[in-house]
Amino acid sequence: MWLRYRRAVAIAEAVVILSIPFIRINGESAVRFDLHELKLYFFGTVFWINELYLLLAATLFLFVLFFAVTNVLGRIWCGWLCPQTVLLDFAQDIGRAISRWRADSIARIILVPVSALVAVSIIWYFVPPLDALRAIPQGETVTMFFVAMWAVIYGMLGLLGRKFCTTICPYSMIQGGLFDADTLVVAFDQSRKDECMGCKKCVVDCPVGIDIRDGLKRQCIACARCVDACTAMTGMRKIPSLINYAGHVKRPKALWLSAVVVVAGLVFAVMLLMRPGAKIVVTRNPKQPAMGINSYSYSLQNNTDHAISLDVSLNGPFQLLGDASVEAEPFSRRTGTLLVRSKGDANEVVFIFKGDGILIETEAGFL
């Protein structure tokens, strides 16, 4: 029973992960991290690496979400959503369908192309899919990353397998510290242990090789294979399964944890909505091009989905030389130089950038 549900979730997860890089919003991938400019495209907006306050708010939200989900739903990630679990189940099921006697060997062979697909799908989140597919056969830098990730992923799946979950995975190690008495877990009903037939089908089907009858262990990934195995055997005797999910999802703690998650999400959303449409930084260059003239470098960051053009003016006894406007494409950063001549004895110049509903004032020293 649970295996069918997990397969449906796994298929949906695979479709979402493989499809997102091909979805384009405002001319860019729905989710992609641009390594060249250090910015994250995320469903129609962009996050820059220098926007630390947004990164901290996003990190706080993810941490609260991680704690709440683990405390209430236990190892739902490990058993239902983790790519390691999903891909190993996929390969092993195909291996058993082809040959029950050589299932493990066949699964390792199947994991070779599967690992390649996973590796290229990861690259798609950094390089647009079509660009990546064109670059890989040409032996460019992308090719080296692809081969390296292919090898690492196959090593994790084909060689380490479930041992990664039970020995190396840091998330698996810390989950136990986040559980409480009501956390949802897979458990053996000790009050009915006399009804156990001792068939050990739950042990045989367990992917990490534990005996759930001995109690919950850290290695358990809550995949519910033991539940299905016990249900099949007890069904023949017309009695309920001795192994099942146990815990309480609907409880006061789950409600207030959900509220904390919602608040953290709203804080992040408000901070994102309050972010200015453009940011500009102006710094004076140490070298003066001529007596009475200072050179300034500017960096214009456009956070909107449309191109902007800002007129530049100065406040004080100064004259702007050259182009009196700056422009930037959607979700991009533009740099350039501004030349300012002094018409008085002021030692501070105020730059005013105005246009497209944006007004920015910034100060810089004048020598």
Per-residue pLDDT of the chain (367 residues; tens, 9 = 90+): 788 899 899 999 999 999 999 999 888 889 999 888 888 888 888 888 888 888 889 899 999 999 999 999 999 998 898 888 888 888 888 887 787 777 778 888 888 999 999 999 999 999 998 888 888 888 778 888 999 999 999 998 888 888 888 888 888 888 878 888 899 999 999 999 889 988 999 999 998 889 999 988 888 889 999 999 999 999 898 999 999 999 999 999 999 999 999 999 999 999 888 888 889 999 999 888 888 889 999 999 998 888 999 999 988 888 888 888 899 988 888 899 999 888 877 788 889 999 888 899 998 888 8
Question: Model's pTM, two decimal places?
Answer: 0.80
Phi then psi for residue 36, to 5 deg, are -65, -45
DSSP state letters, 151-176? HHHHIIIIIITHHIIIII-HHHHHHG
Sort 133 into a burial class: Cβ within 10 Å, 0-12 / 13-18 / 19+.
middle
Q: Can you give the residue ranges of every domain in the chain?
A: 2-246, 278-365
CATH code of the domain made up of 278-365: 2.60.40.10
Residue whose structure tokens are 């016990």: 230
Q: Quick one: tokens of 1?
A: 């029973």
- CA dist 350 and 364 (Å) reads 7
- CA dist 220 and 235 (Å) reads 24
Sort 321 into a burial class: Cβ within 10 Å, 0-12 / 13-18 / 19+.
middle
Nearest to 265 by CA among 120, 107, 62, 46: 62
87: Cβ contacts below 8 Å, ≥ 6 apart = 111, 114, 118, 157
